[in-house]
Amino acid sequence: MADVNKLLLLSVSYWCILVILEGAVLKPTSGPVRVIVSLTGCPDLQEVVEPLVRCLKLGWQLAGVDLEIAVDARGCSHQCVAVVRKLVDDGVIASHLSAEADFVINPSSCVGPTQP
């Protein structure tokens, strides 16, 4: 089961990186790229949300891209909501974005970015 979670994490991380890279390249302004990661309809991702978000945040910081992330955990388990609260408390993600999201990523749809 752990191997399946690792594979899921790697697959979703790769997909998210491509989506955010596309957004960073296409975004006309130089401010932060604002992203919402929606966990709706993706119960498997709820188990790996912490390493996924930490990896995305760190990776984009190292690349010099200011990435502001919020996680939509509506309908998630209590354990997942607790993890999201911890990420907010640690300053990894924002409880709410400072402006409208540039992209909403819903890994369960796997169809790419959606303009809100």
pLDDT value for 51: 83
This prediction has a pTM of 0.68
The confidence score (pLDDT) of residue 35 equals: 87
- Which tokens belong to 101? 């999201």
The rounded distance, in Å, linking the Cα atoms of 80 and 77 is 5
- Alpha carbon 23 to chain centroid distance? 13
Residue 116 predicted with pLDDT over 60: no
- pLDDT score at 69: 92
Between 62 and 6, residue with greater pLDDT: 62
- Mean pLDDT across the chain: 76
Of the pLDDT bands very low, low, confident and very high (cuts 50, 70, 90), residue 113 is very low
Instruction: Please report, to the nearest 10 degrees, the dihedral formed by the alpha carbons of residues 86, 76, 101, 18 taken in order.
Output: 90
